[in-house]
Structure 1
Amino acid sequence: MLPVIVLFLVFRSFTLIKYDMLTVSNRDSTQKEPLQSIVKPTFNVSWENNSTYQITFTAYSDNSIGYALLVSENIITWQGQQFVIKQSVPNYSGRYNTVAITATHIYLDVRKIFQHNKKDGTLTYSISDVLSFYLSNNSFGYSFDVKGNFAKKQITDLGGNNAFDGLSQIISTWPDAYIYPDNKKIVVYDKANFATNLGNRLGYGYNSDNVAITYDSTSIINQLTVISTKKDDGSVYFQPHVVKDDDSIAKYGVWDGGDFSDERFHDVQAADEAAKEKFIVEPSISVSLDYLDSDEPVTGEIRRLEILDTGFVTNVMVVAYSYYPLDDTQKTSLTLNSNAKTVLDYQRSNRNALNQAKNLNKDLAISVKNTSDKINVITTDGIWYDYRGGAK
């Protein structure tokens, strides 16, 4: 499990997006109109890696064709990306008519594609194999691409469900994959190809304030017992045995995750490696802060996080956001995910702070002792003196 960092951003300023970047059209795109009746503070764009991608807003009745098109299954286009209206909730109050809209990215409609065929048994697949199985020759215009290197893995009983379930299968089988769409083109990235470093940073006292860090060790697993599946004759491929992460145990003690068994693995080394993939050897870190710049969230952006007061410096990546591009008074939230190095960076800064505290306490103890020696001086004639030289 990777450390997760959540940030709450405050925009200082924002140049409004031109309305020609925000349109509404009917389902077959034969009619397309600008959308100008949005209540600006309600317009929200949110995305979470391998999960959600949607826009929500409220519009008021301005008797326009654009407003009339705000019904389910019509399409909102925002910055070139299409979102399909899934919820349209009219409200009539005080002769002021509005409609609340929730529209999800069109790639999520890939669930329209149903793969009736099913490949029984446990077989080996690449990500391209899975995507091709679900999406090749579909009648809805969806395509796919894979950017990065992924090892082939085994999947049991693939198919018999829709293409969105196929994407979910990819995420569960290759948890290091990032799915990000360009309208109906679904692209699967590895981290090297998904991440983008634009040279930006998050600095406490520079463009961030109110920083809070949560350090959570409740999910650590650093030991498992590997158990073999049985052969047809009832015997086993290997004997039960313990695998562990010695470095994690040395730092945090033993955290046993119980038994691990997987019928795919008959080789003890392969089974051990699969078990170790279940380890969570470091605590997670979450960081919340107020961000004071005005830049727009960028999916997969790598940022340098700096809390120079403690020496905590690490890199984090944007894996989710929620922001209000038409209202510069509302906070934007980002979720940043990093690798285990974030924890190591934090531990290093914590050790530095601890050593500084120890040195300060040592210096303070010496100072107190010296002061005490000067104050509590009794001469042989029984007269008290303080260090300022005055007699009591």
Structure 2
Amino acid sequence: MEKIIVGDVNNQYKALLTCFDNSTFSVAWEKNNSYEISFTASDDGSLGYSLLKGWAYVWTLGQQWTITASDVTVGPQQITNQITATHIGLSCTNVRTSATKTKGSYTPLEVLSHYFDGNKFGYTYEVIGKFSAASVDSLEKGSGKDCLDKIIELWPTAVIFPDNKKIRVYADDKWGTQTNFVYRLGRDTDQVELNVDPTDVVNVVTANGKTLYDSEYSKFKKTTNEQRDKDIKSTKKPYTAQLSAMSKTYRQQRAKLKTDDDKDALKKSYEAKRKPISDELNKKTVTIRKTASTAIANKLAALKSDPANFTSYVYRDEDSIKLWGERPGADVSIKNETDTTKLRDKAVSAVSPDPSVELTVDYHGENAINPGDIWFLDASQQIGLQTSVMVAGFTFYPNDRSQATQVTLNNRKKTMMDVNLSLAKATTKALGLASDSFSDLANAKVPYSDNDDGSTTVGGLGYEYRGESNYG
């Protein structure tokens, strides 16, 4: 069993926590987004419980955490405290710099140096792998958290994963560890759920050289995208608050339940209430993004109608086109450039050949799951899918192995090719089953369905066949 040590914010007291419910102790990590633990403790009058306050420290699993949420519930027979603590490496808001740097090209190491050098809280940093310098308007005053956000903004493929107070920034090709472990659907896993959003695919891009409209187009695109982000933020706000309140109520109610049946029933009820709210938010977000993209494309088309003298290069990702059809993206440009090699490189950098994919697995095996682990997924018996996958997020319960570990897996290009092949096989199989009689069609199960928001859900048995696959 993992132990929990609690310490006050001033590092004057430390105590072993003995009054927490092992079944509520969870660890949740999502790449470049969150890394936190949560648990529910009961007031037993101990020093450990008394230290559970905001910004106090927690030590467990070999790491240090900062309490960022403390929700106390006073019941007729006991007082409980629902704790959420963020990894110390990501809760570095107390690290601040008052210096600024002017416009220039900076590497991740230089950005880290700007924010963290000379800090008095013991934070250090390391960059693993090679990064190209990025053009930055300025490096402003701010916190360590601002620094981490800036790195992900400038280098989206980077991975930030801290070890206590050591901030590690990995290049994409340096992140990930090959393992010999296997997820087996139906053995180690309850189900596989695959959500595919092909609307992000861009596999044809034109790079333009010398033009007369670069400045006007860039300004319009920036303004449109800024407004898009503001609209998305304002749209999300009420939904996020509602979902957060529902989650809080669910955790509080679950902590009071004793039997697994009651907890399972509560979970099903909670998920049923949460899904339509989340789906409605996703639809609105997709609409806002599509509106902005259409406006930008129309503006560019209007600007291009003026016959300017420029050199261009059209790049086509033929492998992606075979899977998803032609999906042209917005043109890119290099001001006054006439070198077609440089224009080609610019076009390649703007291509997004694969859709956004999220693969979720409920895992019951004994193997430890670590960030960036590369495993082999075997769902050959159910959906004909066998492929390598990378752990991009998880939630597990260190002291309660009866609860499944929820694992989110990546969408590397090879993974998508394997998934597409499985879809084609499943569709062919379903059509074969339907050939004997029309009534047989209702029983042909295919792991494929279209959603209202334009995404596609695949995985597990029980999805009715509803038409020919759009893939392939």
Fold shared, TM-score > 0.5 on shorter chain: yes
> Which residue matches 2:97?
115
Are 2:119 and 1:47 aligned?
no
- Tell me, yes or no, if the aligned pair for 2:363 and 2:406 is still in contact at 8 Å: no
Give the Cα separation in 1 of the matches to 2:346 and 2:416: 23
Write the deviation string for residues 150-196 of structure 1: whole angstroms up to 9, x where unpaired.
23333221233322222222112222211111111101123443312
Count residues with an aligned counterpart: 344
Give the Cα separation in 2 of the matches to 1:274 and 1:259: 10
> What SS does the aligned partner of 1:36 have?
coil
> What SS does the aligned partner of 2:82 have?
strand
- Tell me, yes or no, if the aligned pair for 1:204 and 1:306 is still in contact at 8 Å: yes
> Which residue matches 1:239?
310
Residues 1-392 of structure 1 aligned to structure 2 (within 5 Å): 16-17=1-2, 19=3, 22-121=4-103, 123-227=104-208, 239=310, 241=312, 243-247=314-318, 248-261=320-333, 269-270=341-342, 272-309=344-381, 311-351=384-424
How far 1:34 moved relative to its partner? 0.1
How far 1:244 moved relative to its partner? 3.3
> What SS does the aligned partner of 2:352 have?
coil
How far 1:284 moved relative to its partner? 4.2
Give the Cα separation in 2 of the matches to 1:290 and 1:26: 36
Give the Cα separation in 2 of the matches to 1:316 and 1:238: 46
Alpha carbons of structure 1 residues 265 and 35: separation in structure 2 relative to 1, 3 Å: farther
> What SS does the aligned partner of 2:402 have?
coil
How far 1:101 moved relative to its partner? 1.5
> Which residue matches 1:370?
none
- Tell me, yes or no, if the aligned pair for 1:223 and 1:242 is still in contact at 8 Å: no
> What SS does the aligned partner of 2:90 have?
helix
Q: Which one has a larger percent strand, Structure 1 or Structure 2?
A: 1
Write the deviation string for residues 225-283 of structure 1: whole angstroms up to 9, x where unpaired.
4455879xx9xx97274633241334433222224357798966445433432322133
- Tell me, yes or no, if the aligned pair for 1:225 and 1:240 is still in contact at 8 Å: no
How far 1:295 moved relative to its partner? 3.2
Alpha carbons of structure 1 residues 119 and 274: separation in structure 2 relative to 1, 3 Å: farther
How far 1:77 moved relative to its partner? 0.5
- Tell me, yes or no, if the aligned pair for 1:243 and 1:276 is still in contact at 8 Å: no
Give the Cα separation in 1 of the matches to 2:196 and 2:35: 29
- The TM-score, its normalising length taken from structure 1, stands at 0.77
Alpha carbons of structure 1 residues 265 and 146: separation in structure 2 relative to 1, 3 Å: farther
User: How big is the alpha-carbon RMSD for the aligned residues of Structure 1 and Structure 2?
Assistant: 3.3
- Tell me, yes or no, if the aligned pair for 1:159 and 1:166 is still in contact at 8 Å: no
- Tell me, yes or no, if the aligned pair for 1:284 and 1:343 is still in contact at 8 Å: no
What letter corresponds to residue 203 of structure 1 in structure 2? Answer: R
> What SS does the aligned partner of 1:244 have?
strand
Alpha carbons of structure 1 residues 146 and 69: separation in structure 2 relative to 1, 3 Å: same
Write the deviation string for residues 3-60 of structure 1: whole angstroms up to 9, x where unpaired.
xxxxxxxxxxxxx32x3xx100112323110001112222221111111111122211
- Tell me, yes or no, if the aligned pair for 1:24 and 1:77 is still in contact at 8 Å: yes
Alpha carbons of structure 1 residues 173 and 350: separation in structure 2 relative to 1, 3 Å: same
- Tell me, yes or no, if the aligned pair for 1:245 and 1:281 is still in contact at 8 Å: no
> What SS does the aligned partner of 1:141 have?
coil
- The TM-score, its normalising length taken from structure 2, stands at 0.65
Which sits farther off after the overlay, 163-172 or 58-67?
163-172
Larger of the two Rg values belongs to structure: 1
Give the Cα separation in 2 of the matches to 1:148 and 1:244: 28
- Tell me, yes or no, if the aligned pair for 1:227 and 1:260 is still in contact at 8 Å: yes
Write the deviation string for residues 114-170 of structure 1: whole angstroms up to 9, x where unpaired.
33322222x222221211121111122110011222233332212333222222221
- In structure 1, list runs of 5 or more residues that go unmatched: 1-15, 366-392
Give the Cα separation in 2 of the matches to 1:265 and 1:206: 57
Q: Which one has a larger percent helix, Structure 1 or Structure 2?
A: 2
What letter corresponds to residue 376 of structure 2 in structure 1? Answer: R
Identity of aligned residues (%): 32
> Which residue matches 1:383?
none
Alpha carbons of structure 1 residues 271 and 154: separation in structure 2 relative to 1, 3 Å: farther
Which sits farther off after the overlay, 314-323 or 255-264?
255-264
- In structure 2, list runs of 5 or more residues that go unmatched: 216-307, 438-472
